[in-house]
Amino acid sequence: MSSLPPPSETQSLRSGSLTKPWAVAVVITHLLIAGSLVVLAISAQTVGKPTWWLQFSGALSILAVVPFLAPAVVVLVTVRASQLSPIAGLLATAILAATSIFDISRSPGIALGEAVLAGCTALTTIAATAGRRRSVKSGF
């Protein structure tokens, strides 16, 4: 019989996964980014310069959810398998950056807002890498 105490919850979690406070921060940040996208969409419609993803109707209206997939995927990955959060964050950054690039000529103000949100996604991804669990053996 071993005299060692049982491993704590933090010791049994996988190396590379986010700590609980960082996972909560990533989820809240991406929920706020999704809310900001809603505000941008409403503003674009109000001003009369809709973004490319709001201009489709019929079967192509499904494209209206493309920008919202980025934060949704990051939230889902963070909750299910947080060790993959940096990859999901980079993918979300690329999606939001591409969305803003397509809107530059059509509605530059909204494109700037989308670019800022892409930057927020990138900074959140970079910051969250500091909140990953380290391996006890190697220190990484």
**CA dihedral (74, 79, 81, 86) positive or negative:** positive
Domain assignment present for 42: yes
> Tens of pLDDT along the chain (140 residues)?
555 555 555 444 677 788 888 899 999 999 999 999 999 999 998 998 888 888 876 767 777 888 899 999 999 999 998 888 989 999 999 999 999 999 999 889 999 999 999 999 999 999 988 877 766 665 55
In this structure, the number of other CB atoms found within 10 A of the CB of residue 103 comes to 26
Contact 37, 118 (CB under 8 A): no
* 31 within a domain of the structure (yes/no): yes
Q: Which residues of 30-65 are buried (b: 16+ CB within 10 A; e: fewer)?
A: beebbebbeebbeebeeeebbbbbbeeeeeeeeebe
Question: Is there a domain that residue 7 lies in?
Answer: no
Exposed, middle or buried, 2 (CB in 10 Å: 0-12/13-18/19+)? exposed
Say if 30 falls within a structural domain.
Answer: yes
Q: Mapping DSSP to helix (H, G, I), strand (E, B) and coil, where does residue 132 land?
A: strand
In a domain, 9, yes or no: no
Domain, as residue range, for 112: 16-131
Q: What is the pTM of this model?
A: 0.80
Does residue 11 form part of some domain? no
Q: In the beta sheet, which residues pair with residue 132?
A: 18
Domain count of the fold of the chain: 1
Q: Tell me if 34 is assigned to some domain.
A: yes
pLDDT digits (tens, 9 = 90+) for 28-46: 999 999 999 999 999 998 9
